[in-house]
Structure 1
């Protein structure tokens, strides 16, 4: 065995040892300010030099693209499958406002801020930057989502918003990348606009067809007792990736198809859908670990190498004003207290979706200012992993105290 293979094996062994150690200490870690993204981002950064020295760049690029595609397809399908449209219309006016009003406002404000700070990159790159940094990641705020201190309404709101905004922002990401790529000198733009529209139109059509069709077929199999319960996880994989591949074949966008297929499947399937959640708790968590590991090992070092003061300022603005102002505006008239609006605005951590979108768009398209985009995304996700991870537990307790105080005051007034 040569030195390269030996060092690669040692790196893999160290990563697997880290995964096992994390699994042993999950309860202890849950009680601390340390989170899964912090641990695996740090682990990735530590092994970044050995990985760079031991692996071919082509293999690394292919590997991270494959990991990004698999993870994003499963996350998009899984998140969308748990959203019930009837319930969303009736009982979730707050997350709906955040998605329908807050999300476009965030993309628009983010685009404006990115263009003002870096006008030479153009409006298309500003749109792409804003779009990849708009979706939020519940994994970074898991302490908040699972905390009994946080009122149920706020926890559900964070869950629903983070589950849907990555899929809803996909068209913005796609158009930004296509337009930025078209702006490159010598780029072939013939039929580009038509191809972009085709991706956004065909993706949902294919997603609906696959999600609805597979759900109906599984219902029939379940009703006739033909399908073993344990087969649900395998069927979930088949539906998600069939929608992705089917859409790519006909010229649609596979990720949009996977997201829409998840929503169609979840709202059509008549039986228990718990197998998707169970699968994502196991394999999905492992993919999340490796996604943050890849971020720490491959994206963060490059991002830090090209870091500028503009990227740092942009990252801070995206985590604060660009996120919190549109959310506050979208929640006007809901009856939520100011501290609740600020809480929802702050807990829009950037993580998995931003990482995956950046990996895939940079691999699929050539556009100007790639290094600036990488630096901005790297710094935003890095700061989000640290700041949201550290603030999750204390702010959960704070919002819980505020909710109890509000309840006590209301009770006294009613009495």
Structure 2
């Protein structure tokens, strides 16, 4: 285990030090970390099952997810919906449930032996988008700012919306005890989410007001404020779990409420979020390295069946594109813009964390392996597919602009 961790730290250090060069050359840093994990894992002989089955690993993964959910909720600039009105609501309230339903239905057709709860877990793993594998997208000036902003808003919120569904689905798989019915398990999950929402709102609002108070009176230095924001993440997560609530939902709600309460009606120093954002980057880098090791491990176990390949291909295309295009119909986005939003939905850290948590929580080893295979192939295919898609979409906009200038 030691050599694996040491090499992982060196790889992460190297990628972070040359991040600007990688961006300039349109090289995906997560892809490099994934490949390194795939190579290092067999060379160091790390026992992946021992690593991800450890109770400590489960807690670390849970805290990483809470951190990512909080940061995603606070990264949206220009108000809660990035300056847009209806488009983000269309994506989150219409396209997201539509994609979940399509993934669930397709899974039921292809994976006839799997229980509905396992199919729901799989849908939660493959649907949420994450821009980290294709972060160059946000800096590609060929793609209109409105499109990039909308994708950023969607990526910031969709994993937080899916998180409670994921937790309920896992509870249904385990039945949460021999005497608990499906209805009771769902009710328990809803209650946990409601409690978490309350805790997150209190922590987010209270933290924002406290930080505003001390900053306005000069009672805290910038470093103290940055550290306080990090502690808000762990306070929301831990406070919710102590009260039998959903820690993920609490962290997500805390991020939304903190962002709204801290920024409304005033200009705020964005460096307040610098430390929690940097911690999220480090956590994501570690997740990508573990993901690479997971891919190497699964290749050693055996290749997935054709059903998984078909499902993943559909998840990255039809399951994403059709609901998104339908949700944006009659919006003020152009046809090209709607196509770009539908095409650019990379999967990344959220899918990895959901997949690892499912592996750790599911008692049936075959089902756990199945979910892990789906997660690994989805994220790996997304890195390749969306890496190409960003370039093609940007080139399409460039050609359209050149044609319009030539015609005028």
| Matching residue within 350, 353, 366 for 1:353 | 350
Matched, 1:375 2:373: yes
- The one-character-per-residue Cα deviations of 1:55-87 (angstroms, maximum 9, x if unpaired) are 881676345424422321111111112447965
Deviation, 1:197, is 2.0
- Structure 2 match to 1:249: 242
Matched, 1:282 2:273: no
* RMSD, matched Cα: 2.6
| Helix, strand or coil at the partner of 2:389 | helix
Partners of 1:55 and 1:110 in 2: CA distance:
28
- The one-character-per-residue Cα deviations of 1:316-363 (angstroms, maximum 9, x if unpaired) are 000000111110110100143333222111211111001111212332
Deviation, 1:138, is 1.0
| Matching residue within 315, 318, 334 for 1:318 | 315
Partners of 1:303 and 1:189 in 2: CA distance:
38
Deviation, 1:126, is 1.5
Alignment of 1:115-264 (within 5 A): 115-182=108-175, 187-189=178-180, 191-264=184-257
Alignment of 1:83-98 (within 5 A): 83=76, 88=81, 91-98=84-91
- The one-character-per-residue Cα deviations of 1:1-35 (angstroms, maximum 9, x if unpaired) are xxxxxxx4443333233223323432332233531
| Matching residue within 33, 48, 61 for 1:68 | 61
Q: TM-score, normalised by structure 1?
A: 0.88
Alignment of 1:260-275 (within 5 A): 260-270=253-263, 272=268, 274-275=270-271
CA contact (8 A) 1:83 1:263 kept: no
Deviation, 1:404, is 5.6
Q: TM-score, normalised by structure 2?
A: 0.90
* Pairs aligned (count): 401
CA contact (8 A) 2:117 2:170 kept: yes
Runs of at least 5 residues in structure 2 that lack an aligned partner in the other structure: none
- The one-character-per-residue Cα deviations of 1:108-129 (angstroms, maximum 9, x if unpaired) are 1110001110121022222211
Partners of 2:405 and 2:158 in 1: CA distance:
31
Deviation, 1:247, is 0.3
Partners of 1:371 and 1:208 in 2: CA distance:
36
| Helix, strand or coil at the partner of 1:27 | helix
Deviation, 1:200, is 1.6
Question: Once structures 1 and 2 are overlaid, which stretch shifts more, 375-384 or 360-369?
Answer: 360-369
Change (3 A) 1:273 1:124: farther
Change (3 A) 1:180 1:400: farther
Change (3 A) 1:94 1:122: same
- The one-character-per-residue Cα deviations of 1:290-315 (angstroms, maximum 9, x if unpaired) are 11001111355237735111111111
| Matching residue within 388, 395, 402 for 2:400 | 402
Alignment of 1:8-27 (within 5 A): 8-27=1-20
| Helix, strand or coil at the partner of 1:119 | coil
Runs of at least 5 residues in structure 1 that lack an aligned partner in the other structure: 1-7
| Matching residue within 320, 323, 336 for 1:339 | 336
Partners of 2:269 and 2:67 in 1: CA distance:
15
| Helix, strand or coil at the partner of 1:389 | helix
- Structure 2 match to 1:389: 387
